[in-house]
Chains A and B, each alone.
Chain A
């Protein structure tokens, strides 16, 4: 149920005029203060600086008035994991209240330049990939990291994602697929320039299921901007992305994604939060890759000619996957691979939160949250950890040093293909 929203820079919503916040946040009204959200919030568990979802969301909402300047400087400690929303039996969409309050706060107080950098990474990516040797050396260099830390407050302890060359798109151009049905693939910027094999694996698995894959025109989905409170910027990207995707589905093809963060953004936030025309229609035909494969299996259309993989793995469900409301399809499909041991990891949030964990003032919080995940992984002693979100993969590598893959890469390996590089 869309709540009445604050729009930065004031564009009209629901017939209300600009710069005026309509006063009907009904969702906050139904909070009964049961504190269940407090039981699950990863941030309030590790730092007292964040008062917790109950206070930060519906609690503070009673004190926020449209004409008052925002004072809730702790609001940007909300990591945006949506776990509070999921356990709230009253249906308060707490993380949305937090995001809107954060946006209002940053609009008023100004956004640090660093936030702009972090949310515009896709602008530098092609460059980083083109000169990947140089770029990677710089990104690994302690001096550069020190500079980023001092100038932009990007914590030097964080391992920065490295670039790969050629990009996924370039690889795809040289490796067209064949199949009886067509399917579109929204690969996401990270896959394109930083983790190309995930894209390759997705395409290879789809081809093994008799699909011809094509790539509709696409740009960054905009989630780094949204989570940094830049509704305007995210919306612009959405307005660019939806028309080609709309065209795709109207021509009869479904679309799959392999990054659960991108998927969640397009499937839910584009229509619900950003009101992008056409997004609702696209959402109906947009699927997580494993959800898609699971549907194939339901209809006996899944290629299950797996070879045995004798591996001990552990699977971590990203927050955005949980927010998709499709269960854990990757886990369900992987269990079909003979010899493969997949243990679900009993932990809630990896702590990276997209751009959250790169920020100097939040790095330690991010790591502290991650410690719980690291302990849970340690208890299982896997050889490989699997997760559908690039952020989670980065964080798990950073925390444990283990090999971390997207489940689609394992699935590809089981379908009699070349091993993962």
Chain B
């Protein structure tokens, strides 16, 4: 099939989707292609921390300023994607007070509101903290739901004319002399091939930047760094908890709805796709977090996950290329002589909008038009408001009825109706797509019960492509990756239960003759 657009965006993470929205608000048509589902990369595998910038205040003033500015903007335009929890930077006795004072001064310099608190004040706000702390500093950190944020961006972009092709992978670039003119792509689920004509192409593939640039015979100086996170079963803290010391591994605990997330590590990786959380990372995260919240040691973990960050090297940060210390925007026309191709990579989730704005500005410059961006002013429309925990709790009890209001996920209280809405909305191909959007399988049992129910419901709605048993197997294997690193204590009981259900009661992968062959 032949397709045509102005700007072809490759990569469905926060950056790519942010660009699609920004361009769409400027009236510039775009098509975004992504080989998996939205947020397949680092955008969907991060800590969910809505930075105030405090973490960079001392070491990188520029980055900190960017963070706090974007923090303010996002609070205005996307309040329903953010939980304004505030954050605390703890000084434990081993940290001393000296760094805290530098921290306070640095925050003041970059205009991050930072309030010092005494030990007693801190403990009365968060009684679960290590009583051995000296003091803390309160900053406007928060918790963000990256899925909601990016999906809302995508939805709004779509309303304004942007197009999306998910599960579609670029196979080669279409070149016209020294100019990029489009790309050849293939739908990975159905095999359909696309030939896409585009005036400009944006490489927003994040950690896959170099893999993509191979199609153009180019390379940027980049490394990969793995960061791992652990998810607790219950929410241990109300505010984001940081360590008030030079940034290091394992020193942040982010609350996220019903759980807390411990993070993170940074380990050089060669692999962009096959990676796992290692036992030593698990031990490190538990150890460091326990120093801040002693209850972590005895806490139950439901899942571990990791993401790959792209780390670009300093050669890329020349004055005419680097817009900021935090991220990199490369115009390959200037750098490599291949016109109409730009790469944008790096950055934090919190600065996605700024990155998208800069990329879109560059595109407008190339197009020779002067349309200013408006994403810093235009709020994301609130299609589905953010449900607080207590509102979700209201879903059980007398209001439950068989007309769609059945609860599919007991742990996270997700209703059948929510799933049906999601199905109605998009062309979803994959079980994981639905799980991401419905937020199923994120709770205590990690889908042990609800995915069976979900598949049953999908089957009833005739939305299952293929054999539901095989899909269930695929889901269980995927789930296993997240569970295996934390299998001890209560998690092992949960595992025994899932094995007994799927291998025992259901005999999902039978080793005996199939139903159609002879019986006993």
Select which of B128, B398, B411, B413 is within 8 A of A33 by beta carbon.
Answer: B411
The reply to whether B236 and A23 contact each other, CB–CB distance below 8 Å, is yes
The reply to whether A30 and B392 contact each other, CB–CB distance below 8 Å, is no
Query: Given A20-B127, A33-B411, A33-B444: A65 and B238 within 8 A (CB)?
Result: yes
The reply to whether B396 and A69 contact each other, CB–CB distance below 8 Å, is no
**B450 — nearest CB in chain A belongs to which residue?**
A33
The reply to whether A32 and B397 contact each other, CB–CB distance below 8 Å, is no
B172 at the interface (CB under 8 A from A): no
Select which of A25, A51, A61, A66 is within 8 A of B397 by beta carbon.
Answer: A51
A251 at the interface (CB under 8 A from B): no
B269 at the interface (CB under 8 A from A): no
The reply to whether A29 and B398 contact each other, CB–CB distance below 8 Å, is no
The reply to whether B390 and A69 contact each other, CB–CB distance below 8 Å, is yes
Quote the shortest CB–CB distance from B473 to chain A (angstroms). Answer: 21
A60 at the interface (CB under 8 A from B): yes
**B259 — nearest CB in chain A belongs to which residue?**
A62
Query: Given A28-B234, A62-B258, A90-B490: A55 and B388 within 8 A (CB)?
Result: no
**A72 — nearest CB in chain B belongs to which residue?**
B393
Report chain A residues within 8 Å CB of B300: 29-30
The reply to whether A20 and B128 contact each other, CB–CB distance below 8 Å, is no
Quote the shortest CB–CB distance from A333 to chain B (angstroms). Answer: 39
The reply to whether A63 and B445 contact each other, CB–CB distance below 8 Å, is no
Chain A contacts with B in 58-101, Cβ cutoff 8 A:
59-74, 90
Q: How many angstroms from the CA of A69 to the CA of B390 in the assembled complex?
A: 8
Chain A contacts with B in 5-56, Cβ cutoff 8 A:
16-17, 20, 22-26, 28-34, 48-51, 54-56
**B238 — nearest CB in chain A belongs to which residue?**
A65
The reply to whether A64 and B393 contact each other, CB–CB distance below 8 Å, is yes
B267 at the interface (CB under 8 A from A): no
Select which of B391, B396, B410 is within 8 A of A74 by beta carbon.
Answer: B396
Quote the shortest CB–CB distance from B237 to chain A (angstroms). Answer: 8
Query: Given A25-B234, A32-B490: A63 and B392 within 8 A (CB)?
Result: yes
Quote the shortest CB–CB distance from B400 to chain A (angstroms). Answer: 7
The reply to whether A62 and B235 contact each other, CB–CB distance below 8 Å, is yes
**B498 — nearest CB in chain A belongs to which residue?**
A32
Report chain B residues within 8 Å CB of A30: 300, 490
Query: Given A20-B127, A48-B400, A60-B393: A29 and B235 within 8 A (CB)?
Result: no
Report chain A residues within 8 Å CB of B390: 63-65, 68-71
The number of chain B residues touching the other chain, given as a range, is 35 or more
The reply to whether B449 and A33 contact each other, CB–CB distance below 8 Å, is yes
Chain A contacts with B in 215-260, Cβ cutoff 8 A:
none
Report chain A residues within 8 Å CB of B258: 62-63
Select which of B128, B400, B497 is within 8 A of A24 by beta carbon.
Answer: B128
Quote the shortest CB–CB distance from A36 to chain B (angstroms). Answer: 10
Query: Given A63-B390, A65-B238: A51 and B396 within 8 A (CB)?
Result: yes
Report chain B residues within 8 Å CB of A55: 396, 410
The reply to whether B397 and A63 contact each other, CB–CB distance below 8 Å, is no
Q: Which of A20, A23, A50 has the most CB of B within 10 A?
A: A23
Chain B's interface: helix, strand, loop or mixed, by majority?
loop
**A33 — nearest CB in chain B belongs to which residue?**
B445
Q: How many angstroms from the CA of A22 to the CA of B400 in the assembled complex?
A: 31
The reply to whether B411 and A59 contact each other, CB–CB distance below 8 Å, is yes
Per-residue contact bits, chain B 367-409, to A (CB 8 Å; 1 contact, 0 not)? 0000000000000000000001111111011101000000000
B448 at the interface (CB under 8 A from A): yes
Quote the shortest CB–CB distance from B505 to chain A (angstroms). Answer: 12
B493 at the interface (CB under 8 A from A): yes
Quote the shortest CB–CB distance from A10 to chain B (angstroms). Answer: 13
Report chain B residues within 8 Å CB of A31: 444
Report chain A residues within 8 Å CB of B295: 24, 26
Per-residue contact bits, chain B 98-125, to A (CB 8 Å; 1 contact, 0 not)? 0000000000000000000000000010
The reply to whether B497 and A34 contact each other, CB–CB distance below 8 Å, is yes
The reply to whether A33 and B410 contact each other, CB–CB distance below 8 Å, is yes
Select which of A20, A24, A68 is within 8 A of B389 by beta carbon.
Answer: A68
The reply to whether A73 and B234 contact each other, CB–CB distance below 8 Å, is no
B319 at the interface (CB under 8 A from A): no
Q: How many angstroms from the CA of A60 to the CA of B395 in the assembled complex?
A: 11
Chain A's interface: helix, strand, loop or mixed, by majority?
loop
Quote the shortest CB–CB distance from A300 to chain B (angstroms). Answer: 45
Q: How many angstroms from the CA of A34 to the CA of B300 in the assembled complex?
A: 16
Report chain B residues within 8 Å CB of A90: 490, 493
> How many residues of chain A have a CB within 8 Å of chain B?
39
Q: Which of A16, A50, A54, A65 has the most CB of B within 10 A?
A: A65
Select which of A22, A59, A69, A70 is within 8 A of B410 by beta carbon.
Answer: A59
The reply to whether B127 and A29 contact each other, CB–CB distance below 8 Å, is no
Quote the shortest CB–CB distance from A104 to chain B (angstroms). Answer: 12
The reply to whether A54 and B410 contact each other, CB–CB distance below 8 Å, is yes
**B125 — nearest CB in chain A belongs to which residue?**
A20
**A31 — nearest CB in chain B belongs to which residue?**
B444
Report chain B residues within 8 Å CB of A59: 410-411
Report chain A residues within 8 Å CB of B298: 26
The reply to whether A32 and B396 contact each other, CB–CB distance below 8 Å, is no
The reply to whether A29 and B410 contact each other, CB–CB distance below 8 Å, is no
The reply to whether B397 and A49 contact each other, CB–CB distance below 8 Å, is yes
Quote the shortest CB–CB distance from A371 to chain B (angstroms). Answer: 22
Q: How many angstroms from the CA of A59 to the CA of B234 in the assembled complex?
A: 10
The reply to whether A29 and B234 contact each other, CB–CB distance below 8 Å, is yes
B299 at the interface (CB under 8 A from A): yes
Report chain A residues within 8 Å CB of B445: 32-33
Quote the shortest CB–CB distance from A29 to chain B (angstroms). Answer: 5
**B389 — nearest CB in chain A belongs to which residue?**
A63
B343 at the interface (CB under 8 A from A): no
B36 at the interface (CB under 8 A from A): no
B433 at the interface (CB under 8 A from A): no
**B500 — nearest CB in chain A belongs to which residue?**
A34
Quote the shortest CB–CB distance from B406 to chain A (angstroms). Answer: 11
Quote the shortest CB–CB distance from A366 to chain B (angstroms). Answer: 18
Q: How many angstroms from the CA of A67 to the CA of B398 in the assembled complex?
A: 24
The reply to whether B493 and A22 contact each other, CB–CB distance below 8 Å, is no
Per-residue contact bits, chain B 445-479, to A (CB 8 Å; 1 contact, 0 not)? 10011000000000000000000000000000000
Q: How many angstroms from the CA of A67 to the CA of B389 in the assembled complex?
A: 11
Select which of A24, A49, A54, A70 is within 8 A of B398 by beta carbon.
Answer: A49
Q: How many angstroms from the CA of A63 to the CA of B444 in the assembled complex?
A: 12
The reply to whether A63 and B393 contact each other, CB–CB distance below 8 Å, is yes
Quote the shortest CB–CB distance from A149 to chain B (angstroms). Answer: 22
B15 at the interface (CB under 8 A from A): no
Q: How many angstroms from the CA of A73 to the CA of B299 in the assembled complex?
A: 29
Quote the shortest CB–CB distance from B486 to chain A (angstroms). Answer: 13
Quote the shortest CB–CB distance from A384 to chain B (angstroms). Answer: 40
Report chain B residues within 8 Å CB of A29: 233-234, 299-300, 490
Select which of B128, B238, B394, B494 is within 8 A of A71 by beta carbon.
Answer: B394
The reply to whether B127 and A16 contact each other, CB–CB distance below 8 Å, is yes
The reply to whether B124 and A63 contact each other, CB–CB distance below 8 Å, is no
Per-residue contact bits, chain B 224-244, to A (CB 8 Å; 1 contact, 0 not)? 000000000111111000000
Quote the shortest CB–CB distance from A232 to chain B (angstroms). Answer: 23
B11 at the interface (CB under 8 A from A): no
**A61 — nearest CB in chain B belongs to which residue?**
B234
Quote the shortest CB–CB distance from A396 to chain B (angstroms). Answer: 30
Report chain A residues within 8 Å CB of B391: 71
Report chain A residues within 8 Å CB of B234: 25, 28-29, 61-62
B346 at the interface (CB under 8 A from A): no
B443 at the interface (CB under 8 A from A): yes
Q: How many angstroms from the CA of A48 to the CA of B390 in the assembled complex?
A: 20
Q: How many angstroms from the CA of A33 to the CA of B411 in the assembled complex?
A: 8
Q: How many angstroms from the CA of A177 to the CA of B494 in the assembled complex?
A: 58
User: Which 3 A-B residue pairs are closest in the complex by CB-CB distance?
Assistant: A74-B397, A63-B393, A62-B258
Apart from A23-B127, A33-B411: 10 A-B pairs, beta carbons within 8 A: A23-B128, A32-B445, A33-B445, A33-B448, A49-B397, A62-B234, A62-B443, A63-B392, A72-B397, A74-B396
Q: Can you list 23 A-B contacts (CB < 8 A)? A: A23-B236, A26-B295, A28-B234, A29-B300, A29-B490, A31-B444, A32-B445, A33-B410, A33-B411, A33-B448, A33-B449, A33-B494, A51-B396, A55-B396, A63-B393, A64-B389, A64-B393, A65-B235, A65-B238, A68-B389, A68-B390, A69-B390, A74-B398
